[in-house]
Amino acid sequence: MIKTGIIGATGYAGQELMRLLIQHPDCEVEVISSRTYKDTNYNQVYGNYMGITSDKLVDIEIDEISKKVDVLFIALPHGIASNKISAEILQKTKVIDLGADYRLNDLSVYEKWYGVSHGSPQLINEAVYGLCELKRKEIKKADLIANPGCYTTCSILSLMPLVKNNIIDKNSIIVDAKSGVTGAGRALNLGTHFTECNDSIKAYKIASHRHTPEIEQELSIAGDSNITISFTPHLIPMNRGILITAYASLDKKYTYKDIKEVYEGCYKDEQFIRLLPEGVFPETKWVKGSNYCDINFQIDERTNRIIVLGAIDNLIKGAAGQAVQNMNIIFGLEENKGLEMIPSFPI
Amino acid sequence: MIKTGIIGATGYAGQELMRLLIQHPDCEVEVISSRTYKDTNYNQVYGNYMGITSDKLVDIEIDEISKKVDVLFIALPHGIASNKISAEILQKTKVIDLGADYRLNDLSVYEKWYGVSHGSPQLINEAVYGLCELKRKEIKKADLIANPGCYTTCSILSLMPLVKNNIIDKNSIIVDAKSGVTGAGRALNLGTHFTECNDSIKAYKIASHRHTPEIEQELSIAGDSNITISFTPHLIPMNRGILITAYASLDKKYTYKDIKEVYEGCYKDEQFIRLLPEGVFPETKWVKGSNYCDINFQIDERTNRIIVLGAIDNLIKGAAGQAVQNMNIIFGLEENKGLEMIPSFPI
Amino acid sequence: MIKTGIIGATGYAGQELMRLLIQHPDCEVEVISSRTYKDTNYNQVYGNYMGITSDKLVDIEIDEISKKVDVLFIALPHGIASNKISAEILQKTKVIDLGADYRLNDLSVYEKWYGVSHGSPQLINEAVYGLCELKRKEIKKADLIANPGCYTTCSILSLMPLVKNNIIDKNSIIVDAKSGVTGAGRALNLGTHFTECNDSIKAYKIASHRHTPEIEQELSIAGDSNITISFTPHLIPMNRGILITAYASLDKKYTYKDIKEVYEGCYKDEQFIRLLPEGVFPETKWVKGSNYCDINFQIDERTNRIIVLGAIDNLIKGAAGQAVQNMNIIFGLEENKGLEMIPSFPI
Amino acid sequence: MIKTGIIGATGYAGQELMRLLIQHPDCEVEVISSRTYKDTNYNQVYGNYMGITSDKLVDIEIDEISKKVDVLFIALPHGIASNKISAEILQKTKVIDLGADYRLNDLSVYEKWYGVSHGSPQLINEAVYGLCELKRKEIKKADLIANPGCYTTCSILSLMPLVKNNIIDKNSIIVDAKSGVTGAGRALNLGTHFTECNDSIKAYKIASHRHTPEIEQELSIAGDSNITISFTPHLIPMNRGILITAYASLDKKYTYKDIKEVYEGCYKDEQFIRLLPEGVFPETKWVKGSNYCDINFQIDERTNRIIVLGAIDNLIKGAAGQAVQNMNIIFGLEENKGLEMIPSFPI
């Protein structure tokens, strides 16, 4: 049994991780940590755990936790993990960081977009960007995983085949993204007060969301060129799910079939990527509760643009599920262990 | 492997059953049947099954299906199953009927409340009312299970200890019930059109809902007396979940602890019933996606009434999950096989 | 033009009042006050006012405000207004208090349920309970109005004819109430965080909600006897609206028509009470955005109980609309001035 | 008093029109027509009208209706109005058609996108495209108004200043649009069944929605060049509201202030267009229940694109409200008569 720990176990991503790890056949949860809820029974923080666990949350040093676990998941706001993790910690345990601190390869880009200085810049090169479908080999050997963001996972998986295969004008990419409210976390905020976001929609952080450079970095690598995108996130009155609608100019005329082959070339063996049949488009309801990323596209012949749609469950493929997938790869388990849930509907 | 079949696989209960059976370690789904979607791929009817199954729906005779399966689940509107099931069918396969046809012991009560004549009255006595926590022994030996209704499961489990232990005035019971919209099924109806029920609440079938005699029947058996209740269902703008708020007059003064012991006496070994700590009350969000029934109560000292609250996921403990639980009992499996899901949150 | 002021203009009730008063043909809003948002433009607090008003919120003493206005609306949490209002204030301006401080006639009941001492007990007898349909005459002459609570307005209006006409066992009343989330106000709270209450239902303050003694007081007056009720509120995932489902034992057999006549006797001239046709029941969607209270009932012949349903918009008839109705009565305007909005649907 | 009639009074747009016209100080509703609900009381079709009107729906010929009214609103699916309206009808009454039949100037474009032949092509040139802010002069003299679509109103108003002033690359426009479910009407459909669209988001009619040529036509006129756009609508789990997020490449570097002046040049005297302050972006909740169109934009300096956001209430400014605004212009009333509602919140 793999011994696991979760730092930041009481946020929504931490909670989903807790659920997946308890249900995982090869894991046990040794330590759950939280500053705010220290010494509280987990099932008092999340009533769904009543009768399932009576474990208490602790607030102990990462150094101590790292001795007790084989893998440590960190689900904290940006800027904290980089001050906790060190080479010493990584000698004792694998670390899968669900936060942003090690996702960006370029320190200056990190510090510009996040507005904080990085606590352990020497580890940035150690970290592997844990988008499993793209980095499987590197993940296998990694000690430190930078688990990708929710918008980024969905955007990169949806667009990668196009940039990798030079099908689009790489400077024409626009990603219009829509997220459920769990994406904003459990911290109280007027914008996520029920009566302020129910039955309404808004864009936020227009042209300034921090997932932008992360998407650009990975698409640039895949496309072997400098890619700059426009990215606009929106808040949707629903609990879970991300849908991205991406636009790009095709470099010449293509048929649906042409481009479908490109996607199949990239993803035909990927069990968590579902390329939908022609004319059937991703909807967040069909991926909720699962680790799937659904993808399809439409060619807009009048403008010669391609419109790509991708959908994930933001807390699973966009956070906790992908973290488990990373763990499975690192520990040599089957990649879908503990992740075979059929999406729930209607839920 | 237990071979299973589902007749009526495209309703919401049928779909949830499909999901549970595919994920069940000891089952395989042999036949999925639907009149409306005959010859259609299941994943075209429910997009969540994309990549999981490419089975097609068939529309074949129950007689033929019964030869191929060890257990047959029927999820059809009332009045149909009783015309399909016969002693011959029951010799070939176990039948778990998620519909209403065999739930009421008294034929005349059935015909009065449902307004149809019963197709196989001779089988009514054969059928066991499949509320697992109350009828485990009978279920083990049954060939035909009448799987309880959603409101009824939640109401009976919440109230049974009180009537069984003669703690309340048995004619004082009022059940005010609230259901998510999946309870109304997938058939189109103005009342369940999004913009007609979103952001609104209404009562319906006031003092006339068909689950009333079912609750009365089982509470009367448990309480060994004729019990008549008032029952009012309400439609809540949410996908899943049932909450019942039940009121009854206590026959004398009791403390919370007195009554808690009564509940524990009935349920302390029940793994799917969670008696919540004092002051913590059921919310549908904490049971969503699971087979749990959460229960707690408050004594209203000013009026000497007890107010009991119960919550279930209507499609799981209120339908498909309980059906699987019944199957597990019949086939001698551990009762929680395939049903150990931790409730999902926030979903 | 009647000069009005609002203290506590940035809560949801205050905002709805603002909207009604700006649109009222005979009013102008002179002062809007808020501690939290002092010196802020109102349209920055509520974006719907963009282009409508650029008034700023002030935080000045009530004494000063009272000199500038003909009527002062106070929409503050309980325990504050009673420390602000004095006989001197009431000589300068009429006061309509949307809070709880003057609703209960019995000081000890107030202090027991609210857990605070009352700041101006000498004014309790001055205050008129502003349930317009019941107290029109007293309101006309009042200087201080205790505007009723939302649950109470709906409960009292729905049940009054029954207690007044001795049709029910007065100790059998149970009110099962359901409210939209605006009822919990704009203050941040985990329970009203979008992802914590969306797609879920719960009861709260079971047998202990502060509107209970208020309902009992007014029903006791109407029924000329001491009435004690059971009251259970529930939180519904919707923005607005209250539905109450009330149960009581009939003292003998009645027909629907018998009891309808009793209701018509009480309400046939009331323009804001709509007695629905037999078989048609209140739904919150049909009253949203209006000052209506919709009422109907069903006789449960099997138990000889009556089930009464009432629906209001909690922010209008349950708060700001009724406050305006009170103002109209006091100032001799037509009672429906500024309140003739047809309910909006689907909204 | 202006005598009005509504054909198709029982759809959502028809109902909103009914509400606005009843509340309009200078109108009366003479005729409400519906095939489906012929001879039914309007308040049985829409319960919000209980106590407000007891008018019955009729199903009489347009010829007969046209004699009784000064203005006739038609709210029918496309392809029907063009077979009903004739030069003779227009001699008897003004017609404001909320449907699509007269919106497109080019018959072949209409027939291509709508897939039907047009019933009165000779009237296409008679019709004025009723986007009030752009065509006020022509509307004043019109007998037949083609009231714009909901997506189109929001898109055109948001983008017009940019194309008119040659600020953007006119072939770079992408409109990513989001609509509440009322946009899909009241007809039953699996996609708008509550449990199929609640808590989920999807795109639909990608690169093929019929509002596309309408937006292109009007932007082409405003920009005096042939404009082709990409348009993707999405279904959002909310009742009302449209938000559009539009992207375009700027032709050179601009500051926010530069472009704000361009918008102010177009809209500074428009009472229904609210140009929000820098950094404040449209949200549908702030326009719900009103005739406003809120607009703002952000310059994405990294890509030199402009991102424009616009929000309207789809049933008001996107349908019934604009229809009333057109009527006000035609009949020489103040343009905001009956349309001065402050947006409702939270509703």
The per-residue DSSP string of C169-207 comes to -TT--EEEEEE-GGGG-SS--GGGBHHHHTT--EE-STT
Instruction: Cite the active site residues of B.
Output: 150
Give ∠ CA B235-B239-B242 in degrees, rounded to 5: 55
Q: Are strands B94-97 and B2-7 parallel, antiparallel or unpaired?
A: unpaired
Determine the residue type at C26.
Answer: D
Strands D27-33 and D71-74: unpaired
Between CA D73 and CA B306 the distance in angstroms is: 57
Topology match between the domains B2-148+316-330 and B151-312: no
Nearest to B132 by CA among B29, B227, B54, B218: B218
With CA atoms as reference, report the closest residue to A286 among A236, A343, A347. A343
Determine whether the interchain pair D302/A237 forms a contact, defined as Cβ–Cβ distance below 8 Å: no
Please tell me what DSSP assigns to residue C227.
Answer: -
pLDDT at D233 (0 to 100):
98
State the smallest CA–CA distance between residue A119 and chain D in angstroms.
Answer: 28
In Å, what is the CA distance from D81 to each residue of B66, B174, C21, D85, D99?
55, 53, 41, 6, 7
Chains that touch D (3 or more CB pairs under 8 A): A, B, C
- According to DSSP, residue B318 is labeled I
Chain A positions with Cβ closer than 8 Å to B = 12, 15, 19, 22-23, 46-52, 182, 198-199, 239-240, 271, 274, 276, 280, 283, 285-290, 292, 294, 340-347
Residues 6+ apart with CB under 8 A from B215: B151, B152, B155, B156, B159, B175, B229, B231
DSSP label of A73? E
pLDDT-derived band at A178 (thresholds 50, 70, 90) equals: very high
Do residue A194 and residue C197 have CB atoms under 8 angstroms apart? Answer: yes
Over range D155-177, report the average pLDDT: 97
Q: Residue C104: its pLDDT value, please?
A: 98
Q: What is the pLDDT of residues A262-287, one digit of tens each?
A: 999 999 999 999 999 999 999 999 99
Q: Which two tokens stand for residue A4?
A: 């696991």
What's residue B242's pLDDT?
98
Q: At A297, is the secondary structure helix, strand, or coil? A: strand
**Paired strand residues for C89:** none
| CATH (one of 3.40.1050.10, 3.40.50.720, 3.40.50.1220, 3.90.226.10) for C2-126 | 3.40.50.720
D2-147+316-330 architecture in CATH? 3-Layer(aba) Sandwich (3.40)
Q: At which residue do the structure tokens 């629905």 appear?
A: C276
What chain B residue is nearest to D180 in terms of C-alpha separation?
Answer: B195
Question: Which residues lie below 8 Å from residue D49, measured CB to CB, with a gap of 6+?
Answer: C342, D18, D42, D43
Give the residue from C35, C30, C29, C40 showing the smallest Cα distance to C11.
C35
pLDDT tens track for A44-63: 999 999 999 999 999 999 99
Q: Which of C320, C223, C310 is nearest to C24 (CA)?
A: C320
Residue D112 makes CB contacts below 8 A (sequence gap 6+) with: none
For residue B316, what pLDDT is reported? 98
Structure tokens given for A117:
């200085």
Spatial neighbors of B246 by CB under 8 A, at least 6 apart, are: B155, B158, B159, B173, B174, B175, B176, B307, B308, B309, B310
- Are B194 and D199 in contact (CB < 8 Å)? no
- For chains A and B, count residue pairs whose Cβ atoms are closer than 8 Å: 87
Q: Is-cis flag, bond preceding D343, omega within 30? A: no
pLDDT tens-place string over residues D228-246: 999 999 999 999 999 999 9
**pLDDT category, C236, cuts 50, 70, 90?**
very high
Residue C94's H or E segment, with its range, is strand C94-97
Query: Tokens standing for C324?
Result: 């305006």
Q: How high does pLDDT run on average in chain A?
A: 98
Give the CATH number of domain D151-312: 3.30.360.10
Q: What is the mean pLDDT of residues D184-204?
A: 98
CA distance D11 to D24: 20
Is the domain spanning B2-148+316-330 CATH 1.10.600.10? The answer is: no
Which ranges of chain B have pLDDT less than 50? none
Instruction: Identify the sign of the CA torsion B56, B60, B63, B64.
Output: negative
Peptide bond into B282 cis (omega under 30): no
Overall residue count recorded for chain C in this entry: 347
Residue of D nearest to C290 (CA): D48
CA–CA distance, D199 with A238 (Å, rounded to integer): 4
* Interior/surface letters D249-269, b for 16+ CB within 10 angstroms, e for the rest: bbeeebeeeebbebbeebbee
**Average pLDDT score over residue span D321-338:** 98
Distance in angstroms (rounded) separating the CA atoms of residues D170 and D219: 9
Write the DSSP assignment of D197-230 as a string of letters. HTT--EE-STTT-THHHHHHHHHHHHHTS----E
CA B327 – CA B312 distance, rounded (Å): 19
Cβ neighbours of C80 (radius 10 Å): 18
Residue of A230, A276, A301 to mutate when probing chain D, most D C-beta within 10 A: A230
CA–CA dist A105, A216 (Å, integer)? 11
Angstrom distance (rounded) from CA A80 to CA A91: 20
Residue type, C255: T
D237 with A236: Cβ contact below 8 A: yes
Q: Where are the domains of chain D?
A: 2-147+316-330, 151-312
The answer to whether D173 and D247 have CB atoms below 8 angstroms apart is yes
Contact criterion met (CB < 8 Å) for A195 and C189: no
Cis omega (within 30 of 0) for bond into B25: no
Residue C150's nearest CA partner among C21, C318, C325, C273 is: C318
What residues form DSSP beta bridges with B23?
Answer: none
What mean pLDDT do residues D317-325 have?
98
Question: Is residue C22 a contact partner of residue C29, using CB atoms and an 8 Å limit?
Answer: yes
Position B152 scores a pLDDT of 98
User: Which residues make beta-bridge pairs with A58?
Assistant: A33
Average the pLDDT over D6-32 and give the result. Answer: 98
pLDDT number for residue C260: 98
- Which whole-number Å values give the CA distances from D286 to B288, D212, D313, D343, in the listed order? 33, 26, 9, 6
Q: Residue A134, by phi and psi: left (phi above 0), alpha (psi -120 to 50) or beta?
A: alpha
DSSP state of C318: I
Average pLDDT in the C178-192 region?
Answer: 97
Q: Is D150 a catalytic residue?
A: yes
C291 to chain A, minimum CA–CA distance in Å? 20
